[in-house]
Amino acid sequence: MTDPRPYHILSYGTLLGSQIFQSFVGGIVAFRALPRPQFATLQTAIFPVYFSMQTALPVVVALTASRGGQALGISGLLGPEDRFSTLLPMATVAITGLINMFVLRPLTVNTMRERKQQETRDGKKSYDAPPHSKEMVALNKKFGRIHGLSSLVNMVSLIATIWYGAVLSKRLE
């Protein structure tokens, strides 16, 4: 129970699996299968959980990193051997989760709220065929930029997770 290695592998696997599933399976399938309002409701419920996992799991991965079954601890993670191979990728993942959770998600939610109000004023959904009001065009662009930035931040997180997976695989015996 005190050997950190099982916790390390399980937390890393959960992190990578959830990132791949949300990015390439769950989100895409839901977008194709659900009407827009239901899709938005689902994503609004999933993202806080996903971003929380994306923030917490890399901390667990870093804290359970070990050599020979002995946890590295903070001082070990700061050492030259593990600073770039473990601490940097896991810190990147945690920070991107925080950015998505506390910066980009609120911006997205606020923009969605603004679009909903504009839909009421326009009498037309934001995703209906053009033409749209100037205000809706601007809101759709704003939403697209924020969503694109969030996706980019998510891809940086996934790349850092995969990078660490390559590091981890080289430690297997």
Q: Kindly report the pTM of this predicted structure.
A: 0.93
35's CB contacts (< 8 A; 6+ apart) are: none
What's the pLDDT tens digit per position in 53-64? Answer: 999 999 999 999
pLDDT at 146 over 90: yes
Cα 104 to chain centroid distance, Å, stands at 11
11's CB contacts (< 8 A; 6+ apart) are: 57, 60, 61, 64
pLDDT at 171 over 90: no
Q: What is the mean pLDDT of the chain?
A: 95
- Confidence (pLDDT) at 68: 78
* Torsion sign (Cα): 144, 94, 39, 118: negative
Q: How far apart are CA 122 and CA 54, in angstroms?
A: 37
Taking a C-beta distance cutoff of 8 angstroms, is the pair 22, 150 a contact?
A: no
What's the pLDDT tens digit per position in 104-128? Answer: 999 999 999 999 999 999 999 999 9
* Torsion sign (Cα): 106, 108, 111, 117: negative
Joined tokens for residue 43: 């994503």
Joined tokens for residue 94: 């945690």
